[in-house]
Amino acid sequence: MTADRERFDLKEVILSRYPSLPENQRKVAEYLLHHLREAPFLSILELEKRSGTSKATIVRLAQSLGFSGFLELRSKLMAGVQSALQFPEKFPLLEGPDHKEALTTVARQDVRNINQTINHIDRKVFHDVSEMVLRARHVYTLGLGISSLMSQILAYSLNQVAVRASALVHDYETFLEQIVFVSPADLLVAFSFPPYSRETIDAVAAAAGKKVPVIAITDKLTSPTTFYAKLVLPIRSQNILFTNSFSAISVVINALATEVAMRNKDKAVLITKEIDRLLADTGHYAAE
């Protein structure tokens, strides 16, 4: 097992055991999850101060996670930081099939992506994401590359079900310049898939620093944007080429918009009828 894999496993352990941790240990766990690159360089006294807990709580958390104590926990964090600096993660290339069978092979891979995504998304998390969308004053979405397209589709889909939503597009303004206008009453949904964009990560970090709630839609619970997210929707995006497949992402976007519409049915129906009426009155639709 590589050091990088150990780092990722450590975060998965924290996330998996977080619900059963006592409140004080949760405070330490939350600090570690949001400062995995910084935490290895802190003494137990510094971590005590920054997490607002005690040395005993920090030691008990380390033991709850399966370590002998704080020093072993810190050594695992350090190994993860060193590995991240030396071995940047790359998107894996699947073995190429006979080009004559590309259609079948790609279709089968997308079916696997969809099935694995459906099986691994926590239904409570999915429900909580829809609730956050409905509570938000305004939903902002962002991403680069294929993630930009997906973020625009989500914003469009939410507008269709009576949720105010806008996609932040990297054009004449950077994401950071646009994040300035996002407030804690809003919601930021960030799409991030390998190779992870530094600008997306920085924008999400800036939003979290402003207390803006963040939802991460990404390929796994340990991708960089999850460090700053309130909730994460992990989606399989394996593809034959050095790109991400968006089939499962599209399914989740459609499902999320549908879930929101079902929870906001009266308003969604009213807005949909009003949009159709305006488009029809202005001659938007072509005659059959």
pLDDT band at 35 (very low <50, low <70, confident <90, very high): confident
Q: How far apart are CA 176 and CA 204, in angstroms?
A: 9
Average pLDDT over residues 249-264: 92
pTM, entire model: 0.64
Decide which of 3.40.50.10490, 3.30.1600.10, 3.10.290.10, 1.20.1250.20 is the CATH code for 120-263.
3.40.50.10490
What is the percent of the chain where pLDDT is above 70? 84
Lowest pLDDT segment from 71-85, 122-136, 142-156: 71-85
What residue spans define the domains of the chain?
3-86, 120-263
What separation, in Å, do the N-terminal and C-terminal C-alpha atoms of the chain show? Answer: 62
Q: Which CATH class is domain 3-86?
A: mainly alpha
Q: How many Cα atoms within 13 Å fall on the side-chain side of residue 191?
A: 29
Question: Mind listing the pLDDT tens digit for each residue in 95-133?
Answer: 444 555 777 888 888 888 898 888 888 899 999 999 999
Mean pLDDT of 77-90: 55
